Structure 1
């Protein structure tokens, strides 16, 4: 069993105006499309849960036996239209992923996904995609989705699903696709109705992907932003806390002296920027 020690993270916020980072440079817009007659084979993986704080993965059968519904499935390319924008977009532009297509893919992992999360403070809902890079031949879309799976006697909520979709622009086909729950000390939480209680834990792999995995490198594209920039833009669509200019305690104390402003110290025991808490 994985042994976990949760340390308290001290975050310091200075008084001041909230602001979001946005250093994206305007680019030419492109239109993306897919040939609906083509097919895409996805492999699905859910590894056994390795850890929960209160041992739910041992005592609760549905969580102990949580496994992929369909290890391999052939999808129509039309399903992946859910990840395409309706209009022409530039590098760095964001749009919402259509729920119907995303649900069709998530059901390969577990049969009862939903987007209205059981615990939602108002900033948990969302399915966002971003054009990260393109050249004459290919376009790469990255995305972030918040969802949860209804289990027998409860629900399973991953921290997030992130991923990418690589499109052959000339032939309008899916070249590569991956949707997965990132690793982390904790990367999901669960609610067990029988006990009326929640737990947090770690699962090493929850993933859907094509056999071929290709990501465009910066040297291969004519227009791009980094993966980090794309992820930053998407997380800002979810959490207002990410708009805060967070600084270290040491830096805050220095700023306090210079600006003659008070410091607010906040102690938390979980992440602010995903659903694993």
Structure 2
């Protein structure tokens, strides 16, 4: 990337708007702990910072590659310095997909699984030389995922557009405190640059839809996403037609993210 060009990125982080158990406000301590806002509302990134989202070798449209979490986490630290890719549970990692390509531009879609350690405390069972952690998590903020996009001018090496956001659906975050947990809704948590170029007027040579790119990323995290899930009514009809049993799964939230 062109390191002489920089990009200003704004961070937006709305308060918790809804919750199952209202853990975030069940004590004065938790009210303070979960009253969250961006660590840096505005940050300027040099061009080479965005190398974190680029492939190590040549790829074709539709190809997926793994991202180095150590290079990605500095972006999430704009939200909170407790950003980490070391999830306690669930599917870790980050992947990107080349969604569209022209002679002059490349459009990359990416997905990140990360969380935030809001506070820690000393581990009473820790001893020098032991394999126990010296600090244990006191409180954590666990987003369902971060979905993002990068638009690059291949001729100049300049980043034209960048965004990274928590999908704005209900129950999109887990919060943990003193081993208690809650599912909450955060309407907006986003890193957003002011674009210098949009993809609307770009004539792509090769392209897949945003939905297809997101699907390829989803499959990198969850093998079971290959299952052809059916609504109950359709499953009943298919079971009757094929004389096969129904395997029903009841979940409290989506299966294909880290929110529950």
Query: Could you tell me the TM-score, scaled by structure 1's length?
Result: 0.82
- How far, CA to CA, are the matches of 2:160 and 2:182 in structure 1? 38
Does the alignment pair 1:42 with 2:2? no
- How far, CA to CA, are the matches of 2:140 and 2:181 in structure 1? 9
Offset from partner CA, 1:161-219 (integer Å, 9 cap, x none): 001000011100100000010110111001102xx211010111111111227552497
Give 1:104 shift: 1.1
- How far, CA to CA, are the matches of 2:47 and 2:226 in structure 1? 36
- How far, CA to CA, are the matches of 1:219 and 1:100 in structure 2? 32
In structure 2, stretches of 5+ residues that fail to align are 120-137
SS in 1 for 2:75: helix
1:137 maps to 104
- How far, CA to CA, are the matches of 2:200 and 2:63 in structure 1? 19
Give 1:38 shift: 2.2
- How far, CA to CA, are the matches of 2:223 and 2:144 in structure 1? 17
- How far, CA to CA, are the matches of 1:258 and 1:222 in structure 2? 44
In structure 1, stretches of 5+ residues that fail to align are 1-33
Does the alignment pair 1:261 with 2:244? yes
Alpha carbons 1:177, 1:213 under 8 Å: kept: no
1:234 maps to 217
Give 1:57 shift: 2.4
- How far, CA to CA, are the matches of 1:41 and 1:219 in structure 2? 23
Q: Equivalences for 1:180-219 in 2 at 5 Å?
A: 180-193=165-178, 196-212=179-195, 215-217=198-200
Alignment match of 1:128 (pick from 95, 99, 102): 95
1:224 maps to 207
Does the alignment pair 1:246 with 2:216? no
2:153 maps to 168
2:124 maps to none
Query: Could you tell me the TM-score, scaled by structure 2's length?
Result: 0.87
Q: CA RMSD in A?
A: 1.6
Deviates more, 1:237-246 or 1:217-226: 217-226
- How far, CA to CA, are the matches of 1:112 and 1:208 in structure 2? 16
When the two structures are aligned, how many residues end up with a matched partner? 239
Give 1:240 shift: 2.2
- How far, CA to CA, are the matches of 1:72 and 1:142 in structure 2? 22
